[in-house]
Amino acid sequence: MKKLRLALLAGGVSGEREVSLKGAAGVEKALDPEKYEVVRFDPATDLSLIAARAKDIDVAFILLHGIHGEDGTIQGFLDLLGIPYQGAGVLGSALAMDKNLAKTMYRLHGLPVATWEMASREDIADPARLLAAVELPLVVKPVRQGSSIGMSIVRDAKALGLALAKAFAHDRQVMVEQYIKGREITVGVIGNDRPVALPLVEIIPDSRYEFFDYEAKYQPGATREICPAQVSEETRNKAQEYGLAAHHALQLRGYSRTDMIVSGNDICLLETNTIPGMTPTSLLPQAAAVYGLPFPALLDRLIELALERQG
Ligand SMILES: Nc1ncnc2c1ncn2[C@@H]1O[C@H](COP(=O)(O)OP(=O)(O)O)[C@@H](O)[C@H]1O
Ligand SMILES: [Mg+2]
């Protein structure tokens, strides 16, 4: 069989550049050399090179997170070049990247979300308006970031101004969201026309972390991840149903991973990742392995789904 020429896109310009590069090393190692000829590109410097070599590229694997990777821009670039790629297209990527629009879509589809309010820079000096809209404790988030960058949990009104200023340093759009106390789970989904939900993963950051922040995410051993999550059958079914519904609501394809908080019998959707972490021990790959797709088989499947869309 002829090898597929695969462009592995990693690096990029977002705050998650390092995460991307680390992920790419693992993906490159796991891709079967009998099946793929891998060529690495870094969109931070290589866009014209990708365009020049488009004719020779069978498929791209986008291993970029955040701005200009997960937000639809690189997807549009590849569409124009006629290069298929894994995961969501332009619209789905852009919708999912924007936590405000994603939550609006979830709500339109009847999916449960925590109360939220968009902030403006004026709220930094006088956050009374926000405090009237969302009760303490609350979470301040840049709307289009990942890896918890620029995010804070605010328990005291006095800390809100500073938290807003920090978030605005990372994005022009910032939101405040009701803090939900509960167990954190994430639900992977794989497929195009008939996607399936993977086993749930519960995320338990070490008690020294206030939440699943950047360090808790990437410091080895900082977080315990339990798959399949030890939850009731009812919670499992509901969370899987929500993961699939979020995937549809945001018009995603290929795969996705939706973060949720389980609080008693309620589940609240936080966000959906269209290019979830892809080291062999990342959350979606762990869930896929439990489902029966070890890391190299997961990569094969995602590439197969990327090519299937072309037909
Ligand atoms: N409303 C919330 N209530 C409680 N914890 C939250 C809330 N929103 C976010 N978090 C915590 O912050 C982490 C990151 O938030 P998330 O919305 O998933 O953004 P991202 O992963 O893109 O940075 C979550 O995994 C969770 O630990
Ligand atoms: Mg998240």
Q: Is 16 a catalytic residue?
A: yes
Cα separation, 268 vs 182, in Å, equals 10
Cα separation, 203 vs 257, in Å, equals 13
Cα separation, 187 vs 189, in Å, equals 7
Q: Is 259 a catalytic residue?
A: yes
Residue-range domains of the chain with CATH:
4-86 (3.40.50.20), 95-112+181-308 (3.30.470.20), 116-178 (3.30.1490.20)
| pLDDT tens for each residue of 58-107 | 999 999 988 899 999 999 999 999 999 999 999 999 999 999 999 999 99
User: 1 CA to middle of ligand 2, Å?
Assistant: 39
Q: Which of 144, 236, 253, 257 is catalytic?
A: 257
Provide the pLDDT for residue 84.
Answer: 98
- Better-scored residue on pLDDT, 19 or 8: 8
User: 309 CA to middle of ligand 1, Å?
Assistant: 32
Q: Which of 14, 20, 147, 282 is catalytic?
A: 147
Q: Is 210 a catalytic residue?
A: no
**Residue whose structure tokens are 């009847």:** 110
User: 212 CA to middle of ligand 1, Å?
Assistant: 7
Residue 153 has pLDDT above 70, yes or no: yes
pTM of the model: 0.95
User: 195 CA to middle of ligand 1, Å?
Assistant: 25
Provide the pLDDT for residue 310.
Answer: 63
Cα separation, 245 vs 239, in Å, equals 10
| pLDDT tens for each residue of 167-182 | 999 999 999 999 999 9
Q: Is 17 a catalytic residue?
A: no
| Strand bridging mode 59-63 / 152-154 | unpaired
Q: Which one of the ligands is nearest to 96 CA?
A: 1
Q: Ligand 1, closest atom to CA 147?
A: 23
Q: Ligand 1, closest atom to CA 273?
A: 22
* Residue 264, amino acid: G
Q: Is 271 a catalytic residue?
A: yes
Provide the pLDDT for residue 98.
Answer: 97
Q: Which one of the ligands is nearest to 184 CA?
A: 1
Residue 311 has pLDDT above 80, yes or no: no
Q: Which of 12, 16, 20, 87 is catalytic?
A: 16
Cα separation, 264 vs 64, in Å, equals 35
* Residue 231, amino acid: V
| Strand bridging mode 4-10 / 59-63 | parallel
State the DSSP code for 69.
T
Question: What band does 147 get if pLDDT is binned at 50, 70 and 90?
Answer: confident
Q: Is 225 a catalytic residue?
A: no
Pocket residue to mutate for ligand 1, from 212, 217, 272, most atoms within 8 A of Cβ: 212
- C-beta separation of 177 from 115 below 8 A: yes
User: 110 CA to middle of ligand 2, Å?
Assistant: 20
